[in-house]
């Protein structure tokens, strides 16, 4: 596994001046992002396939162990507040359980039986999309979960930092960020982790775009949960409709702080009609606007 090998350039990094060590680590982070350029088509194809499957009403299921699992949980958790993706349509299978998010339980990654049991307990099925993340591409828990999900008919996506591994062979869609050796040998929380985080962000955001949860480059389905987001929501309604600030605030109130409803209300629809029109168009604001014109 290239992510585990020692790079002789950094054999004595602990004796380097701190400035030089930090500079080298930063260069490694930049290289990690660059490693994804070859994966643009793979990410786009996986996003299109995932969106098509999720339109049937399924869930996004994130799977991983250690750093990879924590990154997957972080990405999935942010989809509800950012894009309004329903929390009940997101699931997480973390090696070692929820406690492993804050306390390392590295041995749990070897438990393939637990992964299969978790997939069954979660009721993963044909409408679901499972994203498994593993730097090595060999983590038994993650590989077993992907294999079980695929057997159950779910769409499976594997994100790894090594090619030709059990994970890339088990998943239908494969994203490989070949980040190579770490500056500190085997510390895949560094380059590999950075590439994984970016790949997850790119993939999930592309899925949300394809599902119509972005309009005019704006997060129109975001959850308004604090004063900052309320100001942002009012500004979006104003920008998308050209109405005055007080009218945008009123439309947002009538729409129950749903930006998409507020835009339609500002265009003359009643709150009930706005909600019904959005439901008819699966939450896609652009389609709803076109239908109301």
Which residues are catalytic, by number? 78, 109
Q: State phi, psi for 55 to the nearest 5 degrees.
A: -65, -15
Beta strand 60-64 with 155-160 is unpaired
How far is it, in rounded angstroms, from Cα 208 to Cα 212?
A: 7
Cα 267 from chain centre = 33
Number of C-beta neighbours around residue 93 at 10 A: 28
| Residue 88 vs residues 26, 119, 124, 212, 265: alpha-carbon distances, Å | 38, 16, 13, 19, 28
261 touches 275 (CB < 8 A): yes
3-state SS assignment for residue 38 = helix
How far is it, in rounded angstroms, from Cα 187 to Cα 3?
A: 8
* Non-local CB neighbours of 28 within 8 Å, separated by 6+ positions: 182, 183, 190, 191
Number of C-beta neighbours around residue 27 at 10 A: 12
């Amino acid at each position: 596994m290239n992510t585990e090998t020692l790079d002789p350039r950094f054999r004595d990094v602990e004796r380097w001046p701190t400035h030089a060590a930090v500079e080298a680590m930063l260069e490694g982070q930049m290289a990690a992002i660059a490693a994804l350029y070859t994966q643009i088509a793979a990410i786009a194809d996986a996003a299109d396939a995932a969106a098509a499957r999720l339109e049937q009403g399924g869930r996004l299921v994130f799977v991983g162990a250690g750093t990879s699992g924590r990154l997957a949980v972080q990405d999935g958790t942010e989809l509800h507040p950012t894009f309004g993706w329903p929390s009940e349509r997101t699931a997480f299978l973390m090696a070692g359980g929820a406690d492993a998010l804050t306390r390392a339980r590295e041995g749990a990654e070897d438990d393939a039986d637990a992964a299969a049991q978790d997939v069954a307990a979660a009721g993963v099925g044909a409408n679901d999309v499972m994203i498994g993340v593993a730097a090595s591409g060999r983590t038994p828990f993650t590989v077993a979960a992907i294999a079980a999900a695929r057997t159950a008919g779910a769409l499976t996506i594997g994100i790894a930092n090594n090619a030709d591994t059990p994970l890339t062979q088990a998943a239908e869609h494969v994203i490989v960020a070949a980040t190579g050796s770490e500056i500190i040998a085997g510390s895949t929380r560094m380059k590999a982790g950075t590439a994984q985080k970016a790949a997850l962000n790119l993939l999930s955001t592309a899925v949300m775009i394809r599902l119509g949860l972005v309009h005019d480059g704006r997060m129109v389905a975001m959850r308004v949960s604090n004063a900052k987001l309320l100001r942002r929501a009012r500004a979006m309604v104003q920008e998308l409709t050209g109405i005055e600030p007080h009218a945008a605030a009123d439309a947002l109130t009538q729409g129950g702080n749903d930006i998409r409803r507020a835009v339609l209300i500002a265009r003359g629809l009643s709150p009930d009609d706005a909600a019904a029109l959005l439901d008819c168009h699966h939450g896609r604001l652009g389609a709803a606007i076109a239908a109301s014109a």
